[in-house]
Amino acid sequence: MMNRLKRIYSNYTEKQNIKHKSQKNRLSTFTKRVMVTTIAASTITLGAVAVHASENSLLGTVYHVYLNGERVGAVDNKVQLDKALEAKVESVQKDYKNLELSVGEQVTVVPEKVFRPSAQNKETINTVIEQVEVKASASVLTIEGEEVALLKNKEEAEKVIELLKLEFVSEKDLKALEVRQENQESKLPELKENESRVLDLTIKEKVSYSDKNVDPKNVISVKEAVELVKKGKKQADKYEVQAGDSLGDIAEKHDLSSEELLEMNPDIAMDTLLKVGKVLNVSAKKPYLNILVKQEVSKNEEVPYEQEVVEDKELPKGETKVKQQGENGEKNVRTITTKENGMTIKTEVTHEETLKEPVKHIVVKGTKVIPSRGSGSLAWPAVGGYISSKMGHRWGKMHKGIDIARPSDRTIKAADNGVVESAGWDGGYGNKVVINHQNGMKTTYAHLDSISVSVGETVSRGGKIGVMGTTGQSTGVHLHFEVYQDGKLKDPMQYLNN
């Protein structure tokens, strides 16, 4: 090659000499050498470029495709693979519109430059699409290390816990507690009467949230997650048979079928006679969460009044009267109550103040024995009034007694000591009372509005037996009063001592 370059150069020089004979200066030996070197280098460079271009025409890029770390093939068009994966995600997305779906990091693509590239686009893409799983981005609600529920995101998982807290406190109280905790308030104002507040709310178990790609069909709603956590989980337990128990009853109590109960107790059968005291294997529901609430309450409470009975020897036995009406008092009580899942486990009284003292209820009880025998002299059976009609013939028939009307008080009184012989309705007499004075004398009281005594009751002279009225055959409010001596009708005026 160098000889050829020299010949080219020599011919070039000769041509230049012929053309420029008039030029006196000739190229120096040094200049000749530089030109030779330049031409040689240019020739070599042109050759290398030609070789490189030839090599590039043989090089290409292939993409090695890995599924979960295992190579499944290669493609020379990554766009086709991406579109196929997108199509599969979109087909699943139709059933889970609210979830964020993807294939995650299951598919890995590694590019490589190779001579004469070879790829299996269709086979590789089909294999990937068949085996790849579309996953949902979810938040795992974990309680005490156990994955309990899969939610759409962390916000929904936190909402589940919030709703579970609201099972035991009001939204207002929970918000107030959170604000105090954020502001780190340690000193609280004194509660007013009939006020309350939540001092603390804690969950005994450790609760955490984490992100995870999962099968979308396992992601549940907030409502479903709340019910799941509330339902709790089954754990092994023991049950002692009680009188009257049957297999069906025991199974139902523990949320089991009879078959499940028998499976847990292979030593018994459906027709086994259960003995009282036998211990069976059962399952019991254990809550996932135990929520402790500490609440302070200021409440006004009634203080019941006491009752006192005072005996009175002057008051007939069996009679009572209220000397002093009782009144309940009032006190303010402040308590701090701790509840676990709504059940009170501790109550502490922190303050108690009497606002109003109760008034004792005093009843006077009579102890005086009333003689059942009358004196023979009769007292006026009404409170005032006058005789509106005397005993005798009236309107064509016999009027058997006297009528007393217009009293100052409608109380009807026993005319003498005695025993009530009858008390009730008697036709034209209306409400009627008959008193046997145990001395051959009887008195009758008719047309009463109401009766205050009963048959067999001993009454005292002047004691109340009823209220004046106009029952039966009566033309107005009055008392019809009759007297009998040894069974014979007598004129009351002969015996009355008013």
Give the tens place of pLDDT for each residue, 235-292: 889 999 999 999 999 999 988 999 999 999 999 999 889 999 999 999 988 899 999 9
pLDDT higher than 60, residue 311: yes
Give the tens place of pLDDT for each residue, 60-93: 899 999 999 999 999 999 999 999 999 999 999 9
pLDDT band at residue 1 under the 50/70/90 scheme: very low
Give the Cα separation of 401 and 491 in Å (integer): 7
**Tokens matching residue 30:** 């040094």
**Cβ(390)–Cβ(420) under 8 Å?**
no
Q: What is the DSSP letter of 244?
A: T
- Around Cβ 222, how many Cβ atoms within 10 Å? 18
pLDDT score for 8: 34
Give the Cα separation of 152 and 422 in Å (integer): 85
For residue 186, the one-letter residue type is S
Give the tens place of pLDDT for each residue, 409-464: 999 999 999 999 999 999 999 999 999 999 999 999 999 999 999 999 999 999 99
Tell me the CB-side half-sphere exposure of residue 377, using CA atoms within 13 A.
2
Measured at the CA of 241, the angle between CA 236 and CA 247, to 5 degrees, comes to 80
**Cβ(404)–Cβ(481) under 8 Å?**
yes
pLDDT score for 297: 96
pLDDT score for 186: 74
Q: How far is CA 363 from CA 97, 188, 277, 315, in A?
A: 78, 48, 54, 12
Q: Which residue has the higher pLDDT, 12 or 498?
A: 498
Q: Which CATH architecture has domain 233-286?
A: Roll (3.10)
Give the Cα separation of 371 and 148 in Å (integer): 85
Fold of 382-494: Glucose Permease (Domain IIA) (2.70.70)
Mean residue pLDDT across the chain: 87
pLDDT band at residue 46 under the 50/70/90 scheme: very low
pLDDT band at residue 115 under the 50/70/90 scheme: confident
Of 148, 289, 163, 290, nearest to 218 by C-alpha is 148
**Tokens matching residue 126:** 């089909």
Query: What's the alpha-carbon Rg for the chain, to the nearest Å?
Result: 57
- Around Cβ 127, how many Cβ atoms within 10 Å? 15
pLDDT score for 498: 55
Give the Cα separation of 367 and 308 in Å (integer): 16
pLDDT higher than 80, residue 9: no
Largest CA distance in the chain: 196
Of 89, 330, 99, 356, nearest to 218 by C-alpha is 99
The stretches of 209-338 forming alpha helices (DSSP H) are: 222-231, 247-253, 258-264
Q: Which residue has the tokens 């034209």?
A: 428
Q: Does domain 294-367 have CATH number 2.20.230.10?
A: yes
pLDDT band at residue 41 under the 50/70/90 scheme: very low
**Tokens matching residue 15:** 């041509």
Q: Which residue has the tokens 């012929």?
A: 18
**Tokens matching residue 393:** 């013939």
Of 86, 119, 115, 116, nearest to 103 by C-alpha is 86
pLDDT higher than 50, residue 153: yes
pLDDT score for 44: 36
Q: Would you say the pTM of this structure is higher than 0.85? A: no
pLDDT score for 368: 83
Paired residues of 387 in beta bridges: 404
